């Protein structure tokens, strides 16, 4: 039986830290579903379709990884796919506090769910999607922090935002 895990997140945008976790997880599990969340509380820079496409392009070389989007509770997404393992990347102790709470809530909603915590590689622990967007919005270089296709999309997105007249 194939062991499948879900790696959920908003991935707005996906960073090299996210890529690192997905790639390493694919060495542990038979298949990884990168699940791009539609979060109504967040105002994303990229549409759900753009995020899914960027991730598919960035991870297209790895046939063990598929990309899907979802709306609603993660536990429902997991149940629909018959998956009981969630992958979460940790950068710092503050991430663990939040992720521990989410793990506890997920297991309360569905006791069979297990969370597989992975430490982000040392070279990526300081990267977050929020920081990437902030740097890029001010014209700073995020080369080497995101996949090349994401770099192009960030340049395009911020150029189009600057071109808009308010």
Inform me whether the pLDDT recorded for 91 exceeds 60: yes
Report how far residue 45's alpha carbon sits from residue 104's, in angstroms, rounded to the nearest whole number.
Answer: 30
Query: How do beta strands 65-71 and 31-38 pair?
Result: parallel
Active site residue 42: yes
Catalytic position from the list 51, 88, 129, 133: 129
Mean pLDDT within 21-39:
96
Active site residue 129: yes
Active site residue 91: yes
Inform me whether the pLDDT recorded for 59 exceeds 70: yes
Inform me whether the pLDDT recorded for 163 exceeds 70: no
Catalytic position from the list 18, 51, 88, 133: 18
Place of tokens 């990309």: 67
What's the per-residue H, E or C state across the chain? CCCEEEEEECCCCCCHHHHHHHHHHCCCCCEEEEEEEECCCCCCCCCHHHHHHHHHHHCCCCCCEEEEEEECCHHHHHHHHCCCEEEEEECCHHHHHHHHHHHHHHHHHCCCCEEEEEECCHHHCCCCHHHHHHHHHCCCCCECCECHHHHHHHHHHHHHHHHCCC
Ranges 21-25, 45-49, 72-76, 155-159: which has the least confidence: 155-159
Mean pLDDT of the chain: 92
Catalytic position from the list 3, 42, 108, 156: 42
Report how far residue 29's alpha carbon sits from residue 24's, in angstroms, rounded to the nearest whole number.
Answer: 9
Give the pLDDT of residue 166.
41
Kindly give, in sequence order, each residue whose CB lies less than 8 Å from that of residue 30, ignoring residues fewer than 6 positions away.
2, 3, 4, 64
Give the pLDDT of residue 1.
82
Inform me whether the pLDDT recorded for 67 exceeds 50: yes
Beta bridge partners of 100: none
Mean pLDDT within 101-120:
93
Active site residue 61: no
Inform me whether the pLDDT recorded for 160 exceeds 80: no
**CB-CB contact of 130 with 136 (8 Å):** no
* Residue percentage of the chain with pLDDT more than 70: 96
Catalytic position from the list 38, 56, 81, 91: 91
Mean pLDDT within 27-43:
93
Query: How do beta strands 4-9 and 31-38 pair?
Result: parallel
């Amino acid at each position: 039986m194939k062991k499948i895990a879900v790696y959920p997140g908003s991935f707005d945008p996906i960073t090299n830290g996210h890529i690192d976790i997905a790639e390493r997880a694919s060495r542990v599990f038979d298949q990884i579903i990168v699940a791009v969340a539609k979060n109504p509380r967040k105002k994303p820079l990229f549409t759900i379709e753009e995020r899914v496409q960027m991730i598919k392009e960035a991870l297209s070389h790895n046939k063990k990884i598929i990309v899907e989007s979802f709306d609603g509770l993660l536990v429902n997404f997991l149940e629909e796919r018959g998956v009981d393992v969630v992958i979460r990347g940790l950068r710092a102790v503050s991430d663990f506090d939040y992720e521990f709470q989410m793990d506890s809530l997920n297991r309360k909603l569905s006791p069979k769910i297990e969370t597989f915590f992975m430490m982000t590689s040392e070279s990526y622990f300081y990267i977050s999607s929020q920081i990437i967007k902030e740097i890029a919005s001010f014209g700073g270089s995020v080369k080497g922090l995101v996949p090349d296709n994401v770099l192009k999309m960030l340049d395009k997105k911020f150029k189009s935002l600057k071109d808009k007249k308010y």
